[in-house]
Amino acid sequence: MIALLKEPWPWYIAGPLIGLTVPILLLIGNKSFGISSSLRHICASCIPADIPFFKYDWKKEVWNLFFVLGIFLGGAIAVRLFPNEAPVTVNPKLMQELAGYGINDYSNLVPMDLMNWSSLFTVKGVILMVVGGFFVGFGTRYAGGCTSGHAIMGLSNLQWPSLIATISFMIGGFAMANLILPFILSL
């Protein structure tokens, strides 16, 4: 059983389990799945400012904060109890391409050659972490939700805006990975 928990689950098991969150949330209280809304709930509960966006009854959405806390704690427990000492598996062609940019460390989920405190103070680090983080946050707010909310919950409910948002996320991801990221990495 422990070996099963240490390995990545195949798509045909993990996918339906993720998909089942939609009907379960709808059945237990007509709740919507999404992670990015939790940041709004945290801000509304912690910052008593006179900002209209944060003036709502966030206590009705406290379940979402517990959901996100559960995701965080589940990840922390999994890392502690089921560590995987093997390097992250990366396609050999991608490894060869990334080696050309000086990325060779696959000991973590994110290459340490890119994401570390010292690289934060470089042009490449500022673009990837600060500017990229801003665009992710701005895009999430502009789209009215994150990829999990739109692609899992919104598409399951046949919402037209979620289809447009999901297609846009995919196009943006392809453009970033194939056009913009190679340019940034070559800086």
pLDDT in tens, 128-161: 999 999 998 888 888 888 888 898 888 888 999 9
Per-residue pLDDT band at 163 (split at 50, 70, 90): very high
- Distance of alpha carbon 170 from alpha carbon 134, whole angstroms: 18
Domain boundaries, the chain: 1-83, 114-187
pTM, to two decimals: 0.77
The contacts of residue 172 (CB under 8 Å, 6+ apart) are: 139
Share of the chain above pLDDT 70, in %: 99
Mean of per-residue pLDDT scores for the chain: 87
Rg (CA), the chain: 19
The contacts of residue 47 (CB under 8 Å, 6+ apart) are: 54
Residue 182, pLDDT above cutoff 80: yes
Helices (H), 62-159: 62-81, 92-99, 123-125, 132-143, 147, 155-156
Per-residue pLDDT band at 178 (split at 50, 70, 90): very high
- What is the amino acid identity at position 29? G
pLDDT given at position 177 = 92
> Region 6-23: what's the mean pLDDT?
87
